Structure 1
Amino acid sequence: MKPSDHGSADLSRRWLYEVGGLAALFGVAIIPVQLVVFVVWGQPNTVPGWFDLFGSNRLGGLLAFEVLFVVNAVVGISTALALYVILRRLSESFMAIALALGLLQAVSFVMARPALEMLYLSNQYADATTDARRAALLAAGETMLATFHGTAFHVGINLFSVYFLIVPIVMLRGEVFGRVTAYAGIAAAILNWGLYVPGGIGVFLLTLSVIPLAVWNVLIARRLLQLGRGTFETRSLEVPT
């Protein structure tokens, strides 16, 4: 590789690190916002309830339907790419698998949160003039609500947890990220499966997963921004050319 090519590659990696770091910070920032949304507006259990929420407050409806998580899934791809570039030297195969799972998880979650579709149906329902039209729109809303709780959502949840098991394990083999970062990721992955524990214990575990996830995002963002700005250097970042 020519020196100029090496410099360009290094510059492009730094740009990726910065974008990935900012994306991780976004993941932290939406946590308190979403908690406020759940307290203020909650999440209706029925399609008419959702239509009423969207009708009275469009922004509140979109936020309650977790549109911010959709944005987070998309921008989080840059974080997954940055981690792949950094950690692939430690395990190319595991990080390739993790990257694929991360991308699939993002796609699954986008599919599982059709917030704009629900807003459209709500608007159409408000304008409907016949019972037949309203019934058809309610049926379409039921489809959206089934998607919200359906296969894509559960695929995304499980891919999320597997991703957060693989990447921290690879991290523990290097020196770029600390052990606290790795263990926070593992804890978030395990607690995230609280979704499948019945009763209040499951809800508690799932809620508790927010804490290690926030710690992970903060520490990941800190290191990626340091790498992007050239204030952290280590030989473990060297990638064979």
Structure 2
Amino acid sequence: MAADEGPAPGGTEGWVGLLRVGAWAALASVVLIVVQIGIYVLWPPPTTTEGFYVLLVERPLQGLLALDLLYVVSNLLAYLLYLALGVALWRVSRSAVVVALAFGVLGMAAYTASPRPVEMLSLAQSYADAAPGEQVALLAVGDGMLATWMGTAFDIYYLVNLVTLLVLALLMLRSPLFGRATAVWGLVAAVLMAVPSNFGVVGLWFALASLVPWSVFALLVWRSLLGLADASGVGERSLARAA
């Protein structure tokens, strides 16, 4: 066996693929944040249901993006990142990892139930072809859709996602696989998620502020997971030759 080969660190044998997927998901999530901010700045979302209907009819893709279509993708990427961290932190505390990932599943389920981009697109098309009396009813339905988008399910998603990130960041403080700075950035991002973005101006500022520590955290995790995947791959090849 070569001097630089040995068992995979942290018991990550057999998980090289997930570690790499989690690493690149972390990087992609940061890229997507930049894209989402650019979209928001260049094309601010409408403030009324009728405004969304008009936008969805005239520019469907832009309308879907205004309804947080990319945010669904961001959450999927974040969960892939959490799964990879769960593998890396499994030996620190299995119970805590299971709890964190369970809360992550709850958060994903809650969020995917809240946005209504496809439904709003369908309503917008109906609104464009409807008579004035029918348009009033369709506006009321759209108001309900938008209220659901930023309603209870969204708040639940925010809070359980906070728990997931908080638990994983605390475990990282006890793991030799991640630097202390990575864990601290994760903790800061988690704390800033304590106020959902739909809580008025305060919530919006907290949401924007959380993007900075989250992005730094994700970039540091990207680097760490790639290194861990490389080391795990070496360990797997070493074990295969030994067998």
Query: TM-score scaled to structure 1, two decimals?
Result: 0.85
**CA deviations over 1:102-134 (Å, ceiling 9, x no partner):** 111112111122212212211222232x23432
Shift of 1:65: 1.0
**CA deviations over 1:192-227 (Å, ceiling 9, x no partner):** 224479765543332111100001111111222222
Letter in 2 for 1:140: V
CA distance in 2, matches of 1:199, 1:117: 25
CA distance in 1, matches of 2:111, 2:68: 10
Tell me how many residue pairs correspond in the alignment. Answer: 227
CA distance in 1, matches of 2:222, 2:123: 38
Shift of 1:42: 1.5
CA distance in 1, matches of 2:135, 2:231: 58
| Structure 1, gaps ≥5 residues long | 1-5, 235-241
Query: In the alignment, is residue 184 of structure 1 matched against residue 158 of structure 2?
Result: no
Given that residues 197 and 206 in structure 2 are in contact (C-alpha distance below 8 angstroms), is that contact kept between their aligned partners in structure 1? no
Shift of 1:40: 2.1
Asked which structure has the greater RCO (Cα within 8 Å, sep 6+), the reply is 2
Shift of 1:94: 1.0
Shift of 1:144: 1.2
**CA deviations over 1:41-62 (Å, ceiling 9, x no partner):** 2122221011112122212111
135-144 or 172-181: which moved more? 135-144
Distance verdict in 2 for CA 1:214–1:167, change over 3 Å: same
CA distance in 2, matches of 1:66, 1:31: 12
> Identity rate of aligned residues, in percent?
36
Letter in 2 for 1:22: W
Letter in 1 for 2:164: Y
| Structure 2, gaps ≥5 residues long | 1-6, 236-243
CA distance in 1, matches of 2:12, 2:33: 33
Local SS of the residue matching 1:170: helix
**CA deviations over 1:139-193 (Å, ceiling 9, x no partner):** 2212210111101100011111111211111110111111111111110111122
Residue number in structure 2 paired with 1:119: 121
Given that residues 161 and 189 in structure 1 are in contact (C-alpha distance below 8 angstroms), is that contact kept between their aligned partners in structure 2? yes
Letter in 2 for 1:19: V
Given that residues 17 and 227 in structure 1 are in contact (C-alpha distance below 8 angstroms), is that contact kept between their aligned partners in structure 2? yes
**CA deviations over 1:1-57 (Å, ceiling 9, x no partner):** xxxxx99x9674101111111111121011111112111221222210111121222
Local SS of the residue matching 1:193: coil
* Counterpart mapping for 1:118-157 below 5 A: 118-128=120-130, 130-157=131-158
Over the residues paired in the alignment, what is the CA RMSD in angstroms? 2.6
User: Which 4+ stretches in 1 moved above 6 angstroms?
Assistant: 196-199, 231-234
Residue number in structure 1 paired with 2:47: 45
Local SS of the residue matching 1:117: helix
Residue number in structure 2 paired with 1:238: none
Given that residues 227 and 233 in structure 1 are in contact (C-alpha distance below 8 angstroms), is that contact kept between their aligned partners in structure 2? no
CA distance in 1, matches of 2:217, 2:181: 8
CA distance in 2, matches of 1:209, 1:24: 15
